[in-house]
Amino acid sequence: MPLHKIEQYNQGGWGIWHIEETEEELAFDAFEQAPLELVSTTKRLEWLTARVLIRHLIEQNNFAYNGLIKDKFGKPFLRDLSLQISLTHSFPFVAAQWHKMLPVGIDLEQPKEKLLKVGPRVLSAEEWKDANSDQTKLCIYWCAKEALYKNYG
């Protein structure tokens, strides 16, 4: 189990997983099968790993995992549990966060040139100027905004 990091805090926690397993290995622990419409092996691995990770996190805290469902906006929820969760992936990493009552949002992304193209559309003029084409700074701004969007969205 290549858990990269797990942090627990009062009534919640988060974890990051580095994907090293095969699809078959992950499917055994995922509780669910990856949807057939996920043609890409990478997408199936991310999908399965997100479920294995959130399952691990909540079972570690004595909650029963019964799978995930999504609302009409695509936001994931735990079946039969009122815990709040957030999932994210950027191959080969997957992250998950949960809290007993409060909304949560987590995002991870790897610095890449694509952020230089979308940055002006999603960052304020001040943020764009501060980032100054630095892909790492752009990535930090991007992830912070995505996490807030997931938290409040």
What is the full per-residue pLDDT of the chain (153 aa) written as tens digits? Answer: 687 899 999 999 999 999 999 988 888 776 777 777 888 999 999 999 999 999 999 999 999 999 999 999 889 999 999 999 999 999 999 999 999 999 999 999 999 999 999 999 999 999 999 999 999 999 999 999 999 999 997
The answer on 78 and 22 residing in a single domain is yes
pLDDT computed for residue 32 by the predictor: 76
The answer on 93 and 146 residing in a single domain is no
H helices of the chain, where? 23-30, 41-59, 114-122, 125-131, 135-152
- Domain housing 145: 114-152
The answer on 135 and 70 residing in a single domain is no
User: Is position 106 within any domain?
Assistant: no
d(CA 78, CA 67): 6
Q: For the chain, how many structural domains are there in total?
A: 2
User: Is position 109 within any domain?
Assistant: no
Nearest Cα neighbor of 15 from 28, 4, 25, 6 is 6
pLDDT computed for residue 62 by the predictor: 96
Question: Which one of 73, 99, 125 terminates a domain?
Answer: 99
The answer on 79 and 9 residing in a single domain is yes
Q: Which amino acid would we find at residue 129?
A: K
- Measured in degrees and rounded to the nearest 5, phi and psi for residue 98 equal -145, 155
Question: Which one of 70, 99, 128 terminates a domain?
Answer: 99
Judge residue 121's burial from the number of C-beta atoms within 10 Å of its C-beta, 0-12 exposed, 13-18 middle, 19 or more buried. Answer: exposed
User: Is position 104 within any domain?
Assistant: no
pLDDT computed for residue 1 by the predictor: 60
Report yes or no on whether pTM surpasses 0.85.
yes
User: Is position 80 within any domain?
Assistant: yes
